[in-house]
Amino acid sequence: MNTTRELAAIVNRCFASGSSSGQKMKRIFNIAMTVLAASLFAGCASERDGSANWYYFGWMAEAPYAPVFHVRDTESSLGPYAEQTKTITMKDLVKMHGHPCDGLVTAACAMKVGLDVLYPDGVADRTDTGCITKNSPCYGDVAAYLTGGRIRFGTQKIDLSLGDEFILYRFSTGKAVKVSLKPGVFPAPVQALEDKIRNGKFTDEEMRTCQQIEWNYARDLLQHPLADSFDIQTLENFKWTPDLYEHLGKRGDVINKNR
């Protein structure tokens, strides 16, 4: 659905140009987004009721650009690489993270863009990949699950300077890439509503409206080629330094992976 992206672009242009109509456009945008959210609510709610897959929306399952991942792991706690790979879908990510949300979808799409560059054969090695995100439940969970990165083993890092950005690192090659959500893709007025809710002064209606708008954004993201929404750059001479952690240890289930 292109409406969300088009409305966001109009509002952002008004703000950027200093137009006196900016506040008016913001109000129009918020009204329009509320209408869109209401139109989606019935469909989302029906998918969540009376089904074993209530947590996995149909628009996510049927999205043309929903990423699918193929990963490689070892076959046991002290064993070699498994001969076969595994497939991870958006449904798997939702079950792992706990809920479908805009952050989960953003992270999954960004990870797909980055991992495809680090692993041109289409199979990401979860014994060989590090990840860096901001301290977000969604971003950190998805990045760790898809890369195998863990703070306690020095293969997952938190960088508070990052926004909607993800750094992926392949240890065996030393190659690092940074994937960033393009400006204007996430609707700016939604950020203000999210901030209000996080500050604790909001109504139940505002919470539900925000929830539906976030889902609408996520739905829209999966309707476009990922290259439309994300930029990627190779980080030259990147050096991986584990975060300081009191219980930092060595991962034991990968020491015999090449046997």
Report angle CA 140, 44, 5 to the nearest 5 degrees: 65
Backbone phi and psi for residue 74, each to the nearest 5 degrees, phi listed first: -80, 165
pLDDT band, residue 190 (cuts 50/70/90): confident
| For residue 145, pLDDT beyond 50 | yes
| DSSP 8-state code for residue 56 | S
pLDDT band, residue 51 (cuts 50/70/90): confident
Cα diameter, the chain: 67
Report d(CA 136, CA 220) in Å as an integer. Answer: 21
- Mean per-residue pLDDT for 123-141? 98
In order of 8, 37, 165, the CA distances from 183 in angstroms are 10, 22, 11
Structure tokens at 6: 């088009």
- Mean per-residue pLDDT for 90-118? 98
Cβ-Cβ contacts under 8 Å for 176 (sequence gap 6 or more): 167, 168, 169, 170, 234, 235, 238, 240
| For residue 33, pLDDT beyond 60 | no
Least confident segment among 47-51, 129-133, 221-225:
47-51
* Strands, E assignment, 101-250: 124-125, 129-133, 156-158, 165-170, 175-181, 230-234
- Structural fold of domain 3-241: 60s Ribosomal Protein L30; Chain: A; (3.30.1330)
pLDDT band, residue 52 (cuts 50/70/90): confident
CA-closest candidate to residue 155, choices 179, 68, 140, 117: 140
pLDDT band, residue 48 (cuts 50/70/90): low
Asked if 141 and 101 count as a contact pair (C-beta separation under 8 A), the reply is no
Structure tokens at 98: 């706990």
- pLDDT tens digits along 84-97: 999 999 999 999 99
- pLDDT tens digits along 235-258: 999 999 999 999 999 999 999 999
* 22-48 and 188-198 helices, crossing angle to 10°: 70
Tell me, what's the pLDDT at 49?
46
Tell me, what's the pLDDT at 8?
54
Please say whether the dihedral angle defined by the alpha carbons of residues 239, 240, 243 and 245, taken in this order, is positive or negative: negative
253 against 5, higher pLDDT: 253
pLDDT band, residue 146 (cuts 50/70/90): very high
- Mean per-residue pLDDT for 139-165? 98
- Mean per-residue pLDDT for 195-216? 94
